[in-house]
């Protein structure tokens, strides 16, 4: 039986990053992946969605430029070419991962893995069942879309984020069930392709996990883009007649309404992939694997990282956890630190936040004051004709420590890292107000909001 110091199960951003780090630290490492390297993030998540959102941005920009006196002919688009570019982006990045694993001398097995208590990993390869043994195991098997039990749904050809990227024709209309981050990103993509988009959300607002001011702004802009947003609505049944799909939604008062559409996308959350751990007596935390701060499960030498442990369910968090698990698997003693986790929504306008949300600050009863600065008077935003947005800071009152930052607007997903650095280094509002920001830039809004918090704003 082939033996390894570390066997990683799952080749997504949690798993492949863990494998590379374990190899860098001197381990003999194997990685088992049943589908494609890169996992959900690269193949069915972050990267394909951001590629299509870039197309959406280009289409919107061309339309907008008419108002600036820049005329082109009517905008036409080829879904086939857009999807081909998306596939090319994925392939480029996937071949990069393959090279990195090769460089790290990591053995890659392509098959479904199952781990037992003795740390034997059985892998169902195309031709044979192979068993390998690991001194340590890192489980990084991620998750897949959750399909809520909606009566009639089995009879309807619905899409999830796993299948929607394979569309070959632009639908005339789509109902997106779920107004979370994934739902609103797809709504933006389809609206730019002139698809009639309806979002059905059970809660009282879209992106419930994000700041309420940011959600309010996004809702306003999505509505301007003719996206219909139905909140406090539950899908109670579905049916299909030929190609036509119908969805019955119910309001809190019990009233029902039928929506007709060509496509349905279910974006109602995700659930963990547990096939690798079925033979293990592993302690769970609800649906997810429980781990300690060293990313170790209740079984010594078996670690778990990424979406399989629940929590943030973000690619960069999966990778950060993978680095910790890898270090510990080769004998170090490292702890995960979740203090600074940037969170991004890649719609237009973008939304980005880091540190505590205002709700969290309130829950912890930390004395704080909040300040908000609108991008409507920011020079760069006006020059770009992208003034929808704001920067909001939550600052601890006694020492002025920055506790949380929320940004909405153009390019804020790139800008949030500056705030991450401030929070990581326990920076204060005075330091932020003293930072010289480039002019013109959206980043100047950080200088302005910090000044405004102190009652010394210049353009406020
Ligand atoms: C549409 C969409 C957009 C997203 N956008 C973003 C974004 O912009 N930013 C962000 O941070 N996050 C985003 N996410 C979330 C992100 O994709 C996940 O948080 C991330 O992929 C989790 O990484 P992971 O390594 O834990 O799991 P995964 O990426 O899910 O990888 C797990 C891998 O394990 C494999 N596997 C499962 N079981 C077995 C087994 N028994 N044997 C062998 N292999 C197995 C799977 O095939 C899979 O490849 C998005 C998700 C979706 C669906």
Pick the last residue of a domain from 268, 296, 315.
268
C-alpha 141 – ligand 1 centre gap (Å): 8
Is residue 243 predicted with pLDDT exceeding 90?
Answer: no
Alpha carbon nearest to ligand 1 atom 3, residue? 45
Pick the last residue of a domain from 268, 293, 315.
268
C-alpha 41 – ligand 1 centre gap (Å): 5
Which of 457, 44, 439, 119 lies closest to 270 in space, CA to CA?
A: 44
User: How far apart, in Å, are the Cα atoms of 442 and each of 116, 208, 213, 294, 451?
Assistant: 53, 26, 19, 38, 15
Give percent of the chain with pLDDT exceeding 90: 97
Q: How many Å apart are CA 396 and CA 392, to the nearest integer?
A: 13
Neighbour count for residue 44 (Cβ, 10 Å): 23
Alpha carbon nearest to ligand 1 atom 2, residue? 45
C-alpha 173 – ligand 1 centre gap (Å): 28
Tell me the average pLDDT across 94-101: 98
Ligand 1 atom nearest residue 312's Cα: 19
| Prior bond of 440 cis (ω within 30°) | yes
Ligand 1 atom nearest residue 275's Cα: 41
CATH number at 397 reads: 3.30.390.30
Tell me the average pLDDT across 148-158: 97
Pocket test for ligand 1, best of 141, 144, 146 (most atoms within 8 A of CB): 141
Alpha carbon nearest to ligand 1 atom 20, residue? 315
Ligand 1 atom nearest residue 144's Cα: 30
Q: How many Å apart are CA 65 and CA 52, to the nearest integer?
A: 20
Domain match, 77 and 222 both: no
**Which DSSP string do the residues of 394-421 spell out, in sequence order?**
EEETTT-BEEEEEEEETTHHHHHHHHHH
Which of 347, 391, 348 lies closest to 371 in space, CA to CA?
A: 391
Q: Is 27 left (phi over 0), alpha (psi -120 to 50) or beta?
A: beta
Domain match, 296 and 169 both: no
Pocket test for ligand 1, best of 46, 295, 413 (most atoms within 8 A of CB): 46
Q: Return mean pLDDT, the chain.
A: 97
pTM: 0.97
- Contact in structure between 249 and 257 (CB atoms under 8 Å): yes
Domain match, 358 and 398 both: yes
Alpha carbon nearest to ligand 1 atom 7, residue? 46
Domain match, 36 and 129 both: yes
C-alpha 338 – ligand 1 centre gap (Å): 19
Is residue 162 predicted with pLDDT exceeding 90?
Answer: yes
Is residue 460 predicted with pLDDT exceeding 90?
Answer: no
Domain match, 174 and 139 both: no
Domain match, 94 and 182 both: no
CATH number at 254 reads: 3.50.50.60
Q: How many Å apart are CA 257 and CA 245, to the nearest integer?
A: 14
Ligand 1 atom nearest residue 161's Cα: 1
- Contact in structure between 379 and 440 (CB atoms under 8 Å): yes
User: How far apart, in Å, are the Cα atoms of 407 and each of 32, 107, 243, 351, 400?
Assistant: 39, 42, 41, 6, 19
H or E element, residue 312 = none
- Contact in structure between 368 and 394 (CB atoms under 8 Å): yes
Give percent of the chain with pLDDT exceeding 70: 100
Alpha carbon nearest to ligand 1 atom 49, residue? 39
DSSP lists the bridge partners of residue 176 as 199, 265
Tell me the average pLDDT across 148-161: 97
Pocket test for ligand 1, best of 315, 316, 345, 354 (most atoms within 8 A of CB): 315
For the record, the structure tokens of 285 come out as 């935390």
Ligand 1 atom nearest residue 141's Cα: 34
For the record, the structure tokens of 330 come out as 């080769």
Provide the annotated active-site residues: 439
User: Tokens 């769970």 — which residue?
Assistant: 284
Q: How many Å apart are CA 412 and CA 386, to the nearest integer?
A: 12
C-alpha 32 – ligand 1 centre gap (Å): 14
Which of 312, 357, 286, 352 lies closest to 14 in space, CA to CA?
A: 312
C-alpha 308 – ligand 1 centre gap (Å): 9
**Residue 229 confidence class, pLDDT cut points 50, 70, 90:** very high
Domain match, 232 and 303 both: no
Task: Let me know if residue 338 belongs to a domain.
Answer: no
C-alpha 1 – ligand 1 centre gap (Å): 29
Task: Let me know if residue 203 belongs to a domain.
Answer: yes
Q: Tens digit of pLDDT for each residue in 36-82?
A: 999 999 999 999 999 999 999 999 999 999 999 999 899 999 999 99
**Residue 254 confidence class, pLDDT cut points 50, 70, 90:** very high
User: Tokens 């972050």 — which residue?
Assistant: 46
Q: How many Å apart are CA 11 and CA 27, to the nearest integer?
A: 17
Q: What is the CA radius of gyration of the chain?
A: 24
Task: Let me know if residue 458 belongs to a domain.
Answer: no
Q: Tens digit of pLDDT for each residue in 277-299?
A: 999 999 999 999 999 999 999 99
For the record, the structure tokens of 30 come out as 């194997």
Q: Tens digit of pLDDT for each residue in 423-436?
A: 999 999 999 999 99
Q: Tens digit of pLDDT for each residue in 366-406?
A: 999 999 999 999 999 999 999 999 999 999 999 999 999 99
Is residue 342 predicted with pLDDT exceeding 90?
Answer: yes
Q: How many domains does the chain have?
A: 3
C-alpha 314 – ligand 1 centre gap (Å): 8
Q: Tens digit of pLDDT for each residue in 13-44?
A: 999 999 999 999 999 999 999 999 999 999 99
Domain hosting residue 436, numbered range: 349-453
Number of H helices, E strands in the chain: 12, 23
Task: Let me know if residue 364 belongs to a domain.
Answer: yes
Sheet holding 343-345, edge to edge: 343-345, 350-355, 402-409, 390-396, 368-374
User: How far apart, in Å, are the Cα atoms of 387 and each of 184, 211, 378, 380, 436?
Assistant: 20, 19, 8, 9, 22
| Prior bond of 422 cis (ω within 30°) | no
Task: Let me know if residue 460 belongs to a domain.
Answer: no
Domain match, 139 and 40 both: yes
Ligand 1 pocket residues where CB is under 6 Å: 9-15, 32-35, 39-41, 44-46, 49, 112-113, 140-143, 161, 182, 273, 275-276, 306-308, 313-316, 318
Task: Let me know if residue 194 belongs to a domain.
Answer: yes
Q: What is the pLDDT of residue 268?
A: 97
Task: Let me know if residue 54 belongs to a domain.
Answer: yes
**Residue 359 confidence class, pLDDT cut points 50, 70, 90:** confident
Q: How many Å apart are CA 421 and CA 427, to the nearest integer?
A: 8
Domain match, 282 and 136 both: yes
C-alpha distance across the termini of the chain, in Å: 69
Domain match, 251 and 300 both: no
Domain match, 376 and 249 both: no
Which of 144, 47, 136, 137 lies closest to 89 in space, CA to CA?
A: 47
Ligand 1 atom nearest residue 36's Cα: 49
Pick the last residue of a domain from 268, 290, 320.
268
Task: Let me know if residue 336 belongs to a domain.
Answer: no
Tell me the average pLDDT across 346-355: 97
Tell me the average pLDDT across 119-146: 97
Which ranges of 225-333 would DSSP assign to H, the alpha helix?
315-329
DSSP assignment, residue 273? -
Domain match, 314 and 229 both: no
């Amino acid at each position: 039986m082939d033996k390894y110091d570390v066997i990683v199960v799952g080749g997504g951003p949690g798993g492949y990053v863990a494998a590379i780090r374990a190899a860098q630290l001197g381990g003999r490492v194997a990685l088992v992946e049943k589908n494609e390297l890169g996992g959900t993030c690269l193949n069915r998540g972050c990267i394909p969605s951001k590629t299509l959102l870039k197309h959406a941005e280009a289409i919107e920009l061309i339309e907008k430029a008419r108002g600036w006196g820049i005329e082109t002919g009517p905008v036409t688009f080829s879904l086939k070419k857009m999807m081909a570019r998306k596939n090319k982006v994925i392939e480029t990045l996937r071949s990069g991962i393959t090279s990195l694993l090769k460089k790290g001398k990591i053995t890659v097995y392509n098959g479904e893995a199952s781990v037992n208590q003795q740390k034997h990993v059985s892998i169902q390869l195309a031709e044979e069942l192979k068993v390998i043994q690991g001194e340590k195991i890192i489980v990084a098997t991620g998750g897949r879309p959750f399909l809520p039990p909606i009566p009639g749904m089995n009879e309807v050809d619905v899409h999830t984020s796993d299948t929607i990227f394979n569309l070959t024709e632009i639908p005339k209309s789509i109902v997106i069930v779920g107004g979370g981050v994934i739902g609103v990103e797809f709504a933006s993509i389809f609206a730019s392709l002139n698809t009639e988009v309806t979002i059905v959300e059970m809660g009282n607002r879209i992106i419930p996990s994000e700041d309420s001011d940011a959600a309010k702004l996004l809702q306003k802009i999505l509505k301007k883009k003719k996206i219909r947003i139905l909140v406090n609505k539950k899908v109670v049944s579905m049916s299909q007649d030929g190609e036509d799909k119908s969805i019955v939604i119910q309001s809190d008062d019990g009233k029902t309404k039928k929506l007709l559409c060509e496509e349905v996308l279910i974006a109602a959350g995700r659930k963990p992939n547990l096939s690798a751990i079925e033979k293990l007596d592993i302690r769970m935390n609800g649906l997810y694997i429980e781990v300690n701060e060293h990313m170790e499960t209740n079984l010594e030498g078996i670690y778990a990282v990424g979406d399989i442990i629940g929590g943030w369910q973000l690619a960069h968090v999966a990778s950060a956890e993978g680095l910790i698990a890898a270090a510990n698997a080769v004998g170090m003693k490292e702890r995960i630190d979740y203090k600074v986790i940037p969170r991004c929504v890649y719609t237009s306008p973008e939304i980005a936040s880091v540190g505590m949300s205002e709700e969290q600050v309130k829950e912890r009863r930390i004395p704080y004051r909040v300040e908000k600065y609108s991008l409507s008077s920011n020079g760069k935003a006006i020059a770009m004709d992208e003034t929808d947005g704001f920067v909001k800071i939550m600052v601890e009152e006694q020492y002025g420590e920055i506790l949380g930052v929320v940004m909405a607007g153009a390019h804020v997903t790139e800008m949030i890292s500056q705030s991450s650095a401030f929070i990581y280094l326990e920076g204060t509002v005075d330091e932020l107000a003293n930072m010289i920001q480039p002019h013109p830039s959206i980043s100047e809004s950080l200088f302005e909001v910090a000044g405004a918090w102190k009652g010394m704003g210049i353009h406020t």
